[in-house]
Amino acid sequence: MYEAVINNDANYDGLFFYGVLSTGIFCRPSCQSKKPLSDNVRFFLNAGEAIEAGFRPCKRCRSDLLTYHPMKDIAETLKHHLDELYERQVLWSEELRKIGLSERRAVEIFKEAYGMTPKAYMDSLRLNEAKRLLAQTDTKIIDIAASVGFGGLSTFNRFFKERTGCSPNMYRKKHK
Ligand SMILES: [Zn+2]
């Protein structure tokens, strides 16, 4: 149990809680709060036991809430962000900084929840939007490229061709 706490192992969330004697607060194993010394830790099977023993719930990991899916919540936040702002990668890294996630960890969490990397997800959003604009509008291809987040036409052409087997121009001719 202590090892799970030290490793912030979310797999143990809901299976037990730990209280820290020096702070009087109890947490979920995945809580990102300061690592407690093992002598200072008491373990509980549920939140009720911890409260009965005089511990207060942690504000950070919300150990008082019954249903709590931190990783799922984070994955949803990330997905929501990508849905809205997939064309601006700068904000993606800003969002990660706000949540306090490393790029690597964000990729792991996202992949676990949705079976693909944020990059792959974002690419599929960009591709779908590009296809839509090509087939349904008269927007110039260079403007479409920019609106789905590509700085240049050649990178957009390559991206598009790699995934559809034809150039944006061809795609437009076929589908418009
Ligand atoms: Zn906590």
In a shared domain, residues 101 and 76: yes
Asked, for residue 16, whether it belongs to a domain, the answer is yes
Residue type, 165: G
In a shared domain, residues 128 and 116: no
Strand pairing class (56-57; 25-27): parallel
In a shared domain, residues 141 and 127: yes
In a shared domain, residues 79 and 116: yes
Residue 159's CATH number: 1.10.10.60
In a shared domain, residues 116 and 127: no
CA dist., res. 134 & res. 141, Å (int): 7
CA dist., res. 17 & res. 25, Å (int): 10
Looking at the predicted structure, is the pLDDT value of residue 163 above 90? Answer: yes
For ligand 1, the distance from its centroid to the CA atom of residue 107, given in whole angstroms, is 23
CA 154 vs. chain centroid, Å, equals 30
Ramachandran region of residue 22, left (φ > 0), alpha (ψ -120 to 50) or beta?
alpha
Q: Choosing from 27, 31, 58, 61, which is the catalytic residue?
A: 27
Asked, for residue 42, whether it belongs to a domain, the answer is yes
Total number of domains in the chain:
3
Asked, for residue 63, whether it belongs to a domain, the answer is no
In a shared domain, residues 9 and 53: yes
In a shared domain, residues 130 and 159: yes
Asked, for residue 139, whether it belongs to a domain, the answer is yes
In a shared domain, residues 78 and 50: no
For ligand 1, the distance from its centroid to the CA atom of residue 28, given in whole angstroms, is 6
For ligand 1, the distance from its centroid to the CA atom of residue 75, given in whole angstroms, is 19
**Contact 35/18 with Cβ under 8 angstroms?**
no
pTM over 0.85: no
Residue type, 149: G
Looking at the predicted structure, is the pLDDT value of residue 172 above 90? Answer: yes
Residue 38's CATH number: 3.40.10.10
Q: Is 27 a catalytic residue?
A: yes
Quote the tokens at residue 24.
């009087």
Quote the tokens at residue 144.
């479409």
Quote the tokens at residue 43.
């373990």
For residue 99, what are the domain limits? 70-120
Q: At what angle do helices 70-85 and 118-136 cross, to 10 degrees?
A: 30
Asked, for residue 111, whether it belongs to a domain, the answer is yes
In a shared domain, residues 104 and 138: no
pLDDT digit string, tens, across residues 85-115? 766 655 677 777 777 777 888 888 888 888 8
For ligand 1, the distance from its centroid to the CA atom of residue 89, given in whole angstroms, is 31
**Domain's final residue, options 104, 120, 136:** 120
pLDDT digit string, tens, across residues 127-159? 999 999 999 999 999 999 998 988 889 999 999
For ligand 1, the distance from its centroid to the CA atom of residue 18, given in whole angstroms, is 9
**Contact 61/27 with Cβ under 8 angstroms?**
yes
CA 152 vs. chain centroid, Å, equals 28
For ligand 1, the distance from its centroid to the CA atom of residue 87, given in whole angstroms, is 35
For ligand 1, the distance from its centroid to the CA atom of residue 127, given in whole angstroms, is 40
